[in-house]
């Protein structure tokens, strides 16, 4: 019943999608998919993740604020920014973004999760700029040593985990907390459930009265909704630990800067090939994979996509301004 | 004859322009025309000036390097960068641009003319970034006190002059040096001119032999070609001195952040209205005016253009990716 219900949910979402009315509670929008040197059509790394009403920015390459506007994202909606590492193509957009937030009169606190050096850099730039930052800017230093819980919201846990790159780098895992079950109205009537009994049932408990079990939870509640998860892995060379950190993830973004022709080249040392990205997805038992952070040397991404799909079929190539549903891996809109 | 010849030259250029074959030795390409907060369709301040084979970048707002690529400009062609002032929308693009130059293996020296603080900021950022800048980066500090010659090339003088803004700000004037006259072949034959006599004639001298004048210069040479000039004035409030600094300029770019409805508003204090920009062009006896640095409050630029044209008819509104000829003020391509 559980699996079947899930399939039904997915099917319903797919049907809705064909009508362009798909709505996701958990989605990823690609704002930039290029590697270090942007092209005329492509922006450096940045993604906007929405979970219910909370917006998270992951990395903030140059011109991120322009992409934010193009995609109709409210700057004020961004409450948490996660920066994977301090190479410019992953954070040079912060200067402009924070300036604009300042100019637009932001009052709301902004949390930044990054290497501790970033706080120093940002404060230095904005002191030079004359005015400083006028809204609360709260820095959270990443440790880069182990997987760590860095943020807990009502419905979501966010973890950072170390990647293997030339400088200290973190990936991020967004993992939904177990959801409360939905109570069956007929069960409320049948057993005349009181408030406490309903709450217990929603938490997965069976119904007991006077020490006697009156009903299994499955009689009281609809099947529990699945908890979905999204992992961001960039920049990194292949690392077998990555799969362990994000085991069974629903949707994984993994960098695929190069194709296999670059496998043992010096310049590819701290990056992954498309095949390596697929290998990590496969080892992690991920459901879907998005590859990105493509080198400008590839005029067409198709060979990278083919290379990844040979190992992990459920792979798509990141497209800027595309929105992906975390639960299905499907492109929305 | 001189004025008539000039008119003929302009006419020829206009005719060629209609065939899309116009070639200019002195041109300005608008890379960004928006004020502090970029929009989804508009980039912050940046312009690329070409004089014969030398490329100059004036201001470098965020994503300037993307605009450079879109417009097919070679990064290696940029030898001099002029930064008007240290508000982020005029220099935050330098971080990404210099990073890309680094990654692309630039060897050629790059000259930056700016407030002395900029050297400190850039060196700080690139030390944090790990590698530093691997090509020669030569800083030239602007004084912001008087009009000053800051660069002299074979054919061009570049001046900085103070503008009136919230922080120290400079405008830039690109002024062609007097050009050598072209010798008439029939004069060489008629007077059997030797090498030294030709050289003297090209410099505007009459022909003397044995203390006796044999020919006026006008007999020996074609009329001297005009020297053209371009002035960049952004950001600034109206300042009567600006017109003095750029007197008789051919093409002037002047900021017009606001329309006259904002004339006495506090937020417009350090910027100009379109009418004020036109007034400066008129007082400077400029031939043509480009207005830009438009506030995002204006969905349409037409009211600003109308306001400026009522005072100075030869006004156009800056369009991103458009190329303007300095001598005629005409849009090329």
Per-residue pLDDT tens digits for A152-182: 999 999 999 999 999 999 999 999 999 889 9
Tell which A residues from 114 to 143 touch B, by Cβ distance under 8 Å: 117, 120-121, 124-125, 128-130
- The answer to whether residue A15 scores a pLDDT higher than 70 is no
Burial of B18 (0-12, 13-18, 19+ CB in 10 A): exposed
How far is residue A123 CA from its own chain's centroid? 27
Contact A95 B100 (CB under 8 A): no
What pLDDT score does B245 carry?
98
CB A242 within 8 Å of CB A171: yes
Q: Is residue A325 flagged as an active site residue?
A: no
Which pLDDT does position B15 carry in this prediction?
A: 43
Query: Tens digit of pLDDT for each residue in A19-33?
Result: 344 567 999 999 999
| CB-CB under 8 Å, B121 with A88 | no
Q: What local confidence, expressed as pLDDT, does residue B18 receive?
A: 42
* Cα(A161)–Cα(A164) distance, integer angstroms: 10
pLDDT at residue number B19 = 39
Q: Which residues of chain B have pLDDT under 70?
A: 1-23, 129-131
B38: nearest CB among A40, A65, A89: A65
Helical spans, DSSP H, in A228-322: 240-245, 274-283, 302-311
| pTM, to two decimals | 0.85
Q: Mutual orientation of helices B93-103 and B117-128 as an angle, nearest 10°?
A: 50
Whether A37 shows a pLDDT value over 90: the answer reads no
Residues of chain A neighbouring B69 (CB-CB closer than 8 A): 38-40
C-beta separation of A326 from A230 below 8 A: yes
Q: Which of B25, B59, B89, B261 is catalytic?
A: B89
Q: Over range A11-18, report the average pLDDT.
A: 45
pLDDT in tens, A232-288: 999 999 999 999 999 999 999 999 999 999 888 888 889 999 999 999 999 999 999
The CA angle A46-A311-A293, to the nearest 5 degrees, is: 20
Question: 10 Å Cβ neighbour count for A208?
Answer: 12
d(CA B42, CA B63): 10
Report, as an integer, the average pLDDT of A191-215: 94
- What is d(CA B295, CA B304) in angstroms, rounded to the nearest whole number? 11
pLDDT in the model for residue B23: 63
Asked if A88 lies within 8 A of B104 by C-beta distance, the reply is no
Look at residue B10 in the predicted model and tell me its pLDDT.
52
The C-alpha of A237 sits at a distance from chain B's nearest C-alpha, in angstroms, of 19
At a CB cut-off of 8 Å and minimum separation 6, what does B210 contact?
Answer: none
Q: Out of A59, A89, A235, A239, pick the active-site residue.
A: A89
The verdict on a CB contact (< 8 Å) between B167 and A130 is yes
The model's pLDDT over A230-243, given as tens digits with 9 standing for 90+, comes to: 999 999 999 999 99
Q: Which residues contact B249 (CB under 8 A, 6 or more apart)?
A: B173, B229, B230, B231, B284, B286, B287
Q: How far apart are the first and last CA of chain B?
A: 30
pLDDT reported for residue B17: 42
Instruction: Determine contact: B36 vs chain A, CB below 8 A.
Output: yes
Rounded mean pLDDT of A193-219?
94
In the stretch 43-62 of chain B, residues with CB closer than 8 A to chain A read 43-44, 62
Do the Cβ atoms of B104 and A37 come within 8 Å? yes
Contact criterion met (CB below 8 Å) for B108 and B138: no
What is the ipTM for the molecules in this complex? Answer: 0.82
The per-residue pLDDT for A35 is 87
């Amino acid at each position: 019943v559980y699996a079947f219900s899930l399939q039904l949910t997915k099917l319903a979402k797919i049907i809705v999608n064909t009508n362009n009315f798909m709505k996701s509670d958990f989605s990823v929008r690609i704002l930039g998919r290029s590697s270090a040197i942007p092209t005329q059509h492509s922006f450096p790394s940045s993604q906007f993740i929405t979970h219910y009403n909370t917006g998270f920015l992951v990395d903030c390459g140059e011109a991120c604020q322009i992409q934010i506007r193009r995609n109709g994202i409210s700057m004020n909606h961004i409450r948490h920014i996660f920066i994977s590492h301090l190479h410019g193509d992953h954070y040079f957009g912060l200067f402009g973004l924070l300036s604009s937030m300042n100019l637009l009169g932001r009052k709301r606190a902004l949390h930044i999760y990054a290497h501790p050096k970033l706080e120093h850099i940002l404060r230095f730039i904005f002191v030079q700029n004359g005015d400083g930052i006028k809204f609360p800017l709260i820095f959270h230093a990443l440790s880069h040593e182990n997987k760590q819980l860095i943020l807990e919201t009502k419905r979501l846990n966010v973890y950072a985990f170390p990647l293997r790159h030339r400088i200290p780098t973190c990936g991020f895992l967004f993992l939904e907390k177990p959801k409360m079950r939905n109570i069956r109205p007929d069960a409320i009537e049948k057993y005349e459930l009181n408030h406490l009994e309903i709450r217990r049932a929603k938490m997965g408990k069976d119904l007991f009265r006077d020490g006697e079990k009156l009903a299994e939870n499955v009689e009281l509640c609809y099947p529990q909704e699945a908890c979905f998860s999204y992992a961001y892995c960039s920049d990194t060379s292949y690392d077998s630990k990555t799969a362990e950190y994000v085991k069974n993830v629903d949707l994984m973004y993994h960098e695929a800067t190069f194709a296999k022709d670059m496998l043992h080249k010096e310049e590819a040392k701290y990056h992954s090939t498309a095949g390596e990205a697929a290998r990590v997805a496969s080892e992690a038992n991920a459901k879907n994979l998005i590859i990105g952070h493509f080198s400008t040397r590839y005029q067409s991404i198709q060979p990278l996509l083919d290379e990844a799909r040979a190992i992990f079929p459920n792979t798509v190539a990141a497209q800027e301004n595309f929105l992906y549903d975390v639960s299905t891996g499907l492109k929305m809109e």
